[in-house]
Amino acid sequence: MPALRFLVRYAYAPLFLVGFIAAALAIVAGGGGKLVLLPLLLVAVGVAFLAERILPYELAWNEARGDAGRDWLHAVVNEASIFAGIAAIPLLAAVVPGLGIWPTGWPLWAQLVVAILVVDLGITLAHWASHKLGWLWRFHAVHHSVGRMYGFNGLMKHPIHQAIELSAGTAPLLLAGMTVEAGALLAFAVAIQLLLQHSNADYRVGPFVYLWAVAPGHRHHHLASKTDGDVNFGLFTMLWDHALGTFEVARPQPLDGEIGVAGRPDYPVRYGAQLIEPFRRQDRHLVEPSG
């Protein structure tokens, strides 16, 4: 067990990201169907849960709080919508002709790097705007309502907010003419990154914490505060947080009881209630962000 704990602490994050994305690249490059990535994603979820139990950041966050079924629903609905969007890429290309500038002749790994950099900018900016605009925050608050952080939290989003973020991140890629293969790999890479970003595993990434948007930095973002939680918005990187002046890793990371939605400890827990909550009267709603 000490050896496993050491492995999780110092090698888990890079091995998880590189290993699963490399496996996905091999499957797609080898002509495997895009749906084969779904079983691979389930394996990644299992590995993420195992790492959280071998070396938890907060032991209490490994225990379900009546939220396990809800989180599975969020994950299934949101991942299904992403893969449905990928399947619709050829139809979208026929309806809205792109610019034809996508580097289709490049290796798939290089196309994926380009896609990650573009989507990182778009989704990071949409995320930042979701903390500044009240109407967007009401949808984004579903994601922040979690009482514990673990891998599945990254997939817990209101479908409308999910659509807004995805549109902001992928519209430039679709206009450029991104292929279905690159889109499938991008969707898989985003899911893998979200599992790492919200992980309850107590891993270290050393100086990469200044560049890589993973759990040691992202936990600060979930602090239940109108202002102190407005940091570390990046999806894959911290590049845009440095540019926006929203980067933070110096202060202690939040612990159990310190995350959630400011002013709303009673935020709905059930899936259906969370879908309805953003549409409730504003004066009965959550405390909105400043800015």
289 in any annotated domain: no
59 in any annotated domain: yes
Say whether pTM exceeds 0.85: yes
Instruction: Write out the residue range of the structural domain in which residue 176 sits.
Output: 2-284
Tokens 């499938």 sit on residue: 184
Report the pLDDT value the prediction gives residue 281, as an integer from 0 to 100: 64
156 in any annotated domain: yes
What single-letter amino acid sits at 275? L
69 in any annotated domain: yes
Per-residue pLDDT of the chain (291 residues; tens, 9 = 90+): 788 999 999 999 999 999 999 999 999 998 877 778 989 999 999 999 999 999 999 999 999 988 989 999 998 998 888 777 777 776 666 666 667 899 999 999 999 999 999 999 999 999 999 999 999 999 999 999 999 999 988 889 999 999 999 899 999 998 999 988 998 999 999 999 999 999 999 999 999 999 999 999 999 999 998 788 999 999 999 999 999 999 999 999 999 999 999 888 889 999 999 999 999 865 444 444 543
290 in any annotated domain: no
291 in any annotated domain: no
Report the pLDDT value the prediction gives residue 34, as an integer from 0 to 100: 72
Give the chain's domain count.
1
262 in any annotated domain: yes
N residues, the chain: 291
71 in any annotated domain: yes
